[in-house]
């Protein structure tokens, strides 16, 4: 009987084949879920273009009384502190400035943030609200430089020709972080074009004085959207744009909108379940709506067990390396328990203890009285975060260079020893993958991040640095190998056939430095004794056999000095150690001359 009633319910419920993301997309400014400060700032920036686009002078700002102005300044400073670190770039509060020709100083707005926060929706709604016709292009699709240039020229120079009401265009460039550098340079060249006093004619032609010259000037606002503002191709654009970094959507606001949509669509759910859905999807608006529609079509309702049991709704993580490192070395902020999620560790805790994790709160340096996320949640979150990055080697290098700078509690150095063992395990896995192409072992690479999180995570954020030691060691290794090859290629045959890297660096070069630096008197060679002449002859023979000589170079102080070439001392001396014993300038000059003469004779 229950199944029949359920079938009758499904038959009576109208089927909507469209996506709820598109159906309930905001159409008006008041329906936006994004941050209010970002919404107002972007709208204010668009209104700065009124003088250029609509030829409307900006209304003068009414002067406020001193007391009221003081209160507004306090509120302004409070908003700056609130949004300056995460919501808005510091330049966002100076958008009211113009250049000498009446153009806004920031001619491009750059909206940054993870997917699903409403960046594209905000750009469309704000532009339409300000009186523009939105022209959208996807920079990841239109990668050709000429196509990119043509679309920018058409969208920023001409009015809209579609529709009854002609509106000026506002160009929205989505996914600009996926565009190639030459395409972004086209936009930069337009921004750097010297703006002049202009007369805008019909059709977008620019007239200056009596001469007509077709030049590509930016006469319309451009809004760029990206997920990662720190990609190398956006470095110059970021310096000239109004940067707005989107924070996560407020869970209460998002869950209220989801509850309103659920009531309209007849979905049986409650606020607790929707808050759990927002937490699982990391407040991704698109993911929450798609999950709500999917579960409703499959189960007819959305209950708490549906959110906890299914993998649907989990956000596809794609975060930069610094964000991943910070989340690994920092404990998650305590959250108020709003829904019945299980805090028991269960099998995950026992498994973590078996593989060597310090899972107790005391070993982790965590106060048991604090409300910290459960070990199970942290385990799976870090594992999923590390697996989704894909940059396993760079991730491991960052962990290696920063973990000793973290202020964690480890009086017995047991955590340091465990971390070293995990690094050794990761090296073995990486070597096996590269040597035998056994990519089935790649699944074990992510557990290093989990181990470091459980061993070294602290409640406070730590200052991290980008890994550079690996690259520096690689450069030194390449330099040493080139030095060895140059010496080996010109050495005599009997030395060349037995000389290899290990023998040269560990056994030969350290002793060779002692052999080629004998103790000689700083006098003329004619005054040398027979023993000293024999030492000079042996020295020259040795240097010729190993293709060594001295070259005169000028140092930064303007003084001349003789240096060993190839300089084998750089290959065997550790950084920070004192320089090896050197011959005098006159002796080096003498040896260099004798080596050149002997080489010519032979």
Q: 511 lies in a domain?
A: yes
pLDDT of residue 335: 61
Q: 211 lies in a domain?
A: no
- 3-state secondary structure labels for all residues of 478-503: HHHHHHHHHHHHHCCHHHHCCCCHHH
Residues 515 and 587 in one domain: yes
What value does the mean pLDDT of the chain take? 77
- CATH number for position 178: 3.40.50.300
Q: 328 lies in a domain?
A: yes
Instruction: Establish whether the linkage from the previous residue to 452 is cis, with ω within 30° of 0.
Output: no
Percent of the chain predicted with pLDDT > 90: 13
pLDDT digits (tens, 9 = 90+) for 216-232: 567 888 999 998 888 88
pLDDT of residue 80: 39
What is the domain range of residue 275? Answer: 251-309
Q: 380 lies in a domain?
A: yes
Mean pLDDT of 183-193: 83
Distance CA 309, CA 305 (A): 6
Residues 552 and 516 in one domain: yes
Residues 412 and 427 in one domain: yes
The residue out of 412, 433, 466 marking a domain boundary is 466
Q: 205 lies in a domain?
A: no
Higher pLDDT, 494 or 6: 494
Q: Which two three-digit tokens encode residue 88?
A: 């808005």
Q: 476 lies in a domain?
A: no
Asked if 246 contacts 38 with a C-beta cutoff of 8 angstroms, the reply is yes
Residues 26 and 149 in one domain: yes
pLDDT digits (tens, 9 = 90+) for 84-104: 444 454 444 444 567 767 778
Distance CA 129, CA 474 (A): 55
First to last CA, the chain: 107
Indicate whether 124 pLDDT > 90: yes
Asked if 162 contacts 199 with a C-beta cutoff of 8 angstroms, the reply is no
Indicate whether 507 pLDDT > 70: yes
Residues 305 and 270 in one domain: yes
Q: Which two three-digit tokens encode residue 574?
A: 């550790």
Mean pLDDT of 35-50: 89
Residues 227 and 294 in one domain: no
Of 150, 140, 135, 134, nearest in space to 176 by CA: 140
DSSP state of 201: P
Q: 339 lies in a domain?
A: no
Residues 452 and 502 in one domain: no
Q: Where are the beta strands (DSSP E) in 196-265?
A: 199-200, 206-208, 211-212, 222-226, 242-245
Mean pLDDT of 582-595: 84
- CATH number for position 276: 1.10.8
Q: In Å, what is the CA distance from 399 to each residue of 112, 191, 494, 506? A: 26, 40, 46, 30
Residues 145 and 42 in one domain: yes
Residues 146 and 238 in one domain: yes
CA angle 27/31/37 to nearest 5° reads 120
Percent of the chain predicted with pLDDT > 70: 76
Contacts of 231 (CB under 8 A, 6+ apart): 177
Mean pLDDT of 241-253: 89
Sheet holding 199-200, edge to edge: 199-200, 206-208, 211-212
CB atoms within 10 A of CB 108: 24
Residues 437 and 511 in one domain: no
Of 79, 174, 167, nearest in space to 130 by CA: 167
pLDDT of residue 67: 57
pLDDT digits (tens, 9 = 90+) for 346-370: 344 443 444 444 444 444 444 444 4
Distance CA 19, CA 289 (A): 9
Distance CA 564, CA 437 (A): 43
Number of domains in the chain: 4
pLDDT of residue 425: 93
Nearest-10 Cα torsion for 322, 328, 331, 335: 80
pLDDT of residue 148: 82
Higher pLDDT, 451 or 375: 451
Distance CA 3, CA 9 (A): 10
Indicate whether 203 pLDDT > 50: no
State the alpha helices, DSSP H only, in 94-229: 119-129, 145-157, 181-192
Residues 329 and 241 in one domain: no
Residues 449 and 396 in one domain: yes
Q: Which two three-digit tokens encode residue 324?
A: 């991943």
Model-wide pTM > 0.95: no
Residue with tokens 């906890």: 308
Q: 316 lies in a domain?
A: no
């Amino acid at each position: 009987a229950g199944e029949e009633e359920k079938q009758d319910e499904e038959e009576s419920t109208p089927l909507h084949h469209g996506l709820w993301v598109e159906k309930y997309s905001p159409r008006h400014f008041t329906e936006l879920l994004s941050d209010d400060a970002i919404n107002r700032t972007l709208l204010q920036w668009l209104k700065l273009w009124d003088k250029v686009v609509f030829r409307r002078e900006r209304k003068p700002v009414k002067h406020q009384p001193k007391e009221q102005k003081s209160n507004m300044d306090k509120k302004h400073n409070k908003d700056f502190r609130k949004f300056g670190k995460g919501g808005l770039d510091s330049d966002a509060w100076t958008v009211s400035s113009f250049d000498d020709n009446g153009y806004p100083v920031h001619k491009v707005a750059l909206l940054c943030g993870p997917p699903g926060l409403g960046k594209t929706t905000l750009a469309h709604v704000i532009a339409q609200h300000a009186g523009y016709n939105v022209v959208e292009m996807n920079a990841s699709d239109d990668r050709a430089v000429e196509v990119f240039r043509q679309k920018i020229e058409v969208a920023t120079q001409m009015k809209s020709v579609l529709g009854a009401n002609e509106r000026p265009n506002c160009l929205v460039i989505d996914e600009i972080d996926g565009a190639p550098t030459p395409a972004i340079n086209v936009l930069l060249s337009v921004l750097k074009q010297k703006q002049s006093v202009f007369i805008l004619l019909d059709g977008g032609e620019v007239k200056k004085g009596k001469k007509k010259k077709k030049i590509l000037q930016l006469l319309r606002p451009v809004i760029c959207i990206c997920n990662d503002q720190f990609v190398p191709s956006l470095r110059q654009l970021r310096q000239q744009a109004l940067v707005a970094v989107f924070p996560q959507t407020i869970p209460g606001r998002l869950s209220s909108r989801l509850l309103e949509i659920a009531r309209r669509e007849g979905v049986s759910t409650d606020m607790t379940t929707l808050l759990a859905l927002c937490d699982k999807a990391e407040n991704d608006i698109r993911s929450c709506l798609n999950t709500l529609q999917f579960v409703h079509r499959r189960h007819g309702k959305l209950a708490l067990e549906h959110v906890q049991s299914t993998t649907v709704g989990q956000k596809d993580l794609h975060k930069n390396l610094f964000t991943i490192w910070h989340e690994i070395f920092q404990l998650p902020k305590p959250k108020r328990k709003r829904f019945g999620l299980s805090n028991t560790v269960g099998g995950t805790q026992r498994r973590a203890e078996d593989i060597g994790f310090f899972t107790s709160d005391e070993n982790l340096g965590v106060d048991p009285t604090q409300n910290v996320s459960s070990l199970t949640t942290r385990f799976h979150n870090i594992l999923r975060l590390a697996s989704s990055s894909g940059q396993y080697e760079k991730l491991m290098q960052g962990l290696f260079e920063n973990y000793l700078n973290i202020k964690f509690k480890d009086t017995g150095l047991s955590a340091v020893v465990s971390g070293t063992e995990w690094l050794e395990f990761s090296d073995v896995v990486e070597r096996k993958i590269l040597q035998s192409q056994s990519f089935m072992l790649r699944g074990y690479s992510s557990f290093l991040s989990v181990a470091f999180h459980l061993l070294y995570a602290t409640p406070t954020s730590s200052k991290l640095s980008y890994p550079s030691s690996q690259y520096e060691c690689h450069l030194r290794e390449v330099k040493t190998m080139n030095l060895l090859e140059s010496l080996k290629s010109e050495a005599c045959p009997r030395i060349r056939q037995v000389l290899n890297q290990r023998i040269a660096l560990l056994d030969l070069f350290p002793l060779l430095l002692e052999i080629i630096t004998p103790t000689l008197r700083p006098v003329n060679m004619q005054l040398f004794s027979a023993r000293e002449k024999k030492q000079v002859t042996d020295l020259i023979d040795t240097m010729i056999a190993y293709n060594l000589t001295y070259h005169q170079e000028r140092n930064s102080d303007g003084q001349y000095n003789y240096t060993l070439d190839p300089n084998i001392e750089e290959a065997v001396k550790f950084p920070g150690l004192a320089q090896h014993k050197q011959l005098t300038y006159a002796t080096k000059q003498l040896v260099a001359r004798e080596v050149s003469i002997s080489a010519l004779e032979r």
